């Protein structure tokens, strides 16, 4: 699942995922953390890419909610334009598996996903 308030960024991340060659059944999308939680309640996902700053519910709040709902082990990769943002550190402390800083290439997405799969 890709959670981002920018439809463009959701499609960019989806494209980068497709370019990794990793087999995917379906890419789910949500426009903010609250929508992401709603999707989690309904569908099974293996991996989540999540923006840090979003309206309605930001990435850190999403991480906390998803833990409270019993999905704490579901890997979440944060996506940010500001790697030095204190919220990135907060996200990592709240259970995010890692982060990708924009601008990113498909190769960086692939490396992050493969690293997570190796540790799964």
Partner 1 sequence: MSTTDAHERWAVLMDETVAETFTAMLGLGCIPSQTSDAQTDAPLRKISARIEFSGAIKGACDVAMSNADALKIAAIFLAGAADDAMAADTVGELCNVLAGGWKRRLNPPASGAGLSVPAIVHDKDEMPSAVRQAYDCDGAQLVVRLNVQQMQEE
Which residues contact partner 1 by CB under 8 A?
6-9, 11-12, 15, 53, 55, 80-85, 101-105
Say if residue 103 is preceded by a cis peptide, omega within 30 of 0: yes
Q: Report the nearest approach of partner 1 to the CB of residue 48 (Å).
A: 20
Complex with partner 1: residue 11 or 64, whichever CB lies closer: 11
Q: Report the nearest approach of partner 1 to the CB of residue 3 (Å).
A: 15
Longest Cα–Cα distance in the chain: 34
Q: What distance in Å separates the CA atoms of residue 44 and residue 59, rounded to the nearest whole number? A: 19
Q: What distance in Å separates the CA atoms of residue 52 and residue 87, rounded to the nearest whole number? A: 7
* Residue in the block written with tokens 């890997």: 75
CB 46 within 8 A of CB 87: no
Complex with partner 1: residue 80 or 94, whichever CB lies closer: 80
Complex with partner 1: residue 74 or 113, whichever CB lies closer: 113
Q: Report the nearest approach of partner 1 to the CB of residue 74 (Å).
A: 25
């Amino acid at each position: 699942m890709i959670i981002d308030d920018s439809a463009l960024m959701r499609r960019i991340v989806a494209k980068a995922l497709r370019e990794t060659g990793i087999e995917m059944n379906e890419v789910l999308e949500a426009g903010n953390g609250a929508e992401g939680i709603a999707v989690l309640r309904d569908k099974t996902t293996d991996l989540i890419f999540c923006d840090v700053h979003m309206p309605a519910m930001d990435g850190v709040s999403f991480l906390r909610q998803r833990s409270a709902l019993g999905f704490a082990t579901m890997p979440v990769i944060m996506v940010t334009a500001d790697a030095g943002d204190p919220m990135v550190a907060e996200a990592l402390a709240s259970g995010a598996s890692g982060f990708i800083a924009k601008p990113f290439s498909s190769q960086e997405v692939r490396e992050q996903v493969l690293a997570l799969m190796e540790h799964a």
